[in-house]
Structure 1
Amino acid sequence: MRDRLYTTEALIIRRSDVGEADRILTIYTPQYGKLSVTARGVRKMTSKLAGHLELFIHTHLQLAKGRSFDVVTESRVVQPFRSLREDLSRISQGYYVAELLDQMTADESDNPALFRLTCETLAALDVLDEVVRRDVILRYYELHTLILSGYRPHLFHCANCERELSPEADRYSPTTGGVLCQQCSNSEPRTLPIKLNTFKLLRYLARMPLETVASLAPAPETVHEARAVLKASLSQVLERELKSTQFLNLVRG
């Protein structure tokens, strides 16, 4: 239950223009989850909110309860993440993170750990220059979004029989929910190949904090294969492909 006037941290993950000067914002907050709110007059040059409610910004908001939408009355930027709106590669990655968060969450369902993960991910994408390292950060975000949403991929024990996995395991099953041992992979028709280096990378990403992962620069083909298996798991959960994936692939080339 929210008070008539309340404050919250928020990430701006989607927006749409309404009328002559208003905007509807989709925000993600640590204590209230995903909300749709309105920013009245924000598109006017004289608005005190102008520049404070851009996409991907981490902000501290004051809101007033409204009939259809709560209304933003004040905004103080916590982290602007400017590079995510200035560099095309980072823009595509920012849109991808925002859409993934949007699609993996229900309205008004709080997940403080997912909020913190998203803030850390956007911060890393904002400062890292190497493309391969930013790609690793996206893989980390995909994996931990699945974990925090209750869809942890099996990476240490077989997704089917729960035996401890050996380095020889080389098949990933999105439908079963992770890596299969050699015995179980023979009876599962819909699997993806997973090489040893990719297997090791995913296990490392699952165990380590993001600040440690940010220094990794694995071979591009390893990151590409990790992207394929995590994309398959996300598609299994969402039953669709994210629209921003096409933009991301187009920019990546």
Structure 2
Amino acid sequence: MPHYRDEGIVLRTHKLGEVDRILTILTKDHGQVRAVAKGVRKTSSRFGARLEPFMVCDLQLFEGKNLDTVSQVEQLSNYGAAIVADYPRYTAASAMVEAAERLTRESSNSQQYLLLLGGLRTLAAGVHQSSQVLDSYLLRALALSGWVPEFDRCQGCGGEPISFSVHTGFVSCSTCLAPGSVRLGASGLAHMTDLLGGNWEGVGKAKQETKEAVSSVISAYLQWQIERGLRSMNLVER
């Protein structure tokens, strides 16, 4: 049976039988993998605690017909401890891994893995507002999936934009409103630009009402593109 080794982030887990568990893992080099971890729910399991959501592991897996099998696990980073201890971080992280699962089901690359890794690391550090880390991650993940938002100029006339379209990802002026446009103004579009570019100094200067308006737009943009909302988003504190 062929085997391979990769590092990965545990996105979610499901119980299987009495002592086993099915894992959904985003790996660096093999995309999204679904694998069985046998015996991990036993109290005597050597690596059960290493295979919880938000954990980063070095994994050895055997390739199977429908599900792969985890044979060895080494923990690389334990972001889960800091994340689950804080409710805003936990809900933001839950939305991030749910989005990652949806966006990498059919195809993925190392950039999606590294983006999620960086997002969880930032959340665990607690330096930035959890909801803003989530919004930045979602915009970047959508961009890596091919839905790159445009903020520079109106897509109709090239003028000064004030609205963002959750249907197209384009911005428009008051004259050239695109379908699904939400009026955010210059400050809202500047905040989206800062989130996409990782300009945390600029993100921190935004007003709370601007952050909340932009968060709603990003959530709607994600829902439109993946054709379904994220259950975890209902729990995120804004």
Q: Normalised by the size of structure 1, how large is the TM-score?
A: 0.86
- Provide, for residues 156-192 of structure 1, a one-character-per-residue CA deviation record: whole Å limited to 9, x for no partner: 1334x3x4442xx22221123221123311xx46321
Q: Equivalent residue for 2:180?
A: 190
Of 13-22 and 173-182, the range deviating more from structure 2: 173-182
1:29/1:110 contact within 8 Å kept: no
1:173/1:179 contact within 8 Å kept: yes
> Which structure 2 residues correspond to residues 54-93 of structure 1 after superposition, within 5 A?
54-81=52-79, 82-93=81-92
| Cα RMSD, aligned residues only | 1.9
2:93/2:134 contact within 8 Å kept: no
1:63/1:73 contact within 8 Å kept: yes
2:194/2:202 contact within 8 Å kept: no
2:3/2:60 contact within 8 Å kept: yes
| Matched-pair identity in % | 27
Q: Equivalent residue for 1:104?
A: 103
1:147 aligns with 2:137: no
1:156/1:165 contact within 8 Å kept: no
SS of the residue 1:93 aligns to: helix
Q: 1:36 corresponds to which letter in structure 2?
A: R
- Following TM superposition, where does structure 1 have runs of at least 4 consecutive aligned residues deviating by more than 4 angstroms? none
TM-aligned CA distance change 1:74 to 1:183, over 3 Å: same
SS of the residue 1:59 aligns to: strand
Q: Equivalent residue for 2:42?
A: 44
1:137/1:214 contact within 8 Å kept: no
d(CA) in 2 for partners of 1:216, 1:98? 22
Q: 1:246 corresponds to which letter in structure 2?
A: N
Q: Equivalent residue for 1:6?
A: 4
1:173 aligns with 2:173: no
Q: How many residues align?
A: 236
Q: 2:136 corresponds to which letter in structure 1?
A: Y
The Cα shift of 1:44 comes to 0.6
The Cα shift of 1:41 comes to 0.1
Of 195-204 and 147-156, the range deviating more from structure 2: 195-204
d(CA) in 2 for partners of 1:18, 1:165? 56
- Provide, for residues 56-110 of structure 1, a one-character-per-residue CA deviation record: whole Å limited to 9, x for no partner: 1111101112233111111111111021122222111111001011111224x23
SS of the residue 1:182 aligns to: coil
Q: Equivalent residue for 1:243?
A: 231
Of 229-238 and 16-25, the range deviating more from structure 2: 229-238
Unmatched 5+ stretches in structure 2: none
Q: Equivalent residue for 1:138?
A: 134
d(CA) in 1 for partners of 2:49, 2:75? 9
- Provide, for residues 182-240 of structure 1, a one-character-per-residue CA deviation record: whole Å limited to 9, x for no partner: 3311xx4632110221111112233x3x4x52784232211111112111211111122
TM-aligned CA distance change 1:136 to 1:165, over 3 Å: farther
- Provide, for residues 86-138 of structure 1, a one-character-per-residue CA deviation record: whole Å limited to 9, x for no partner: 2222111111001011111224x2311111010000000111155xx222211
The Cα shift of 1:140 comes to 0.9
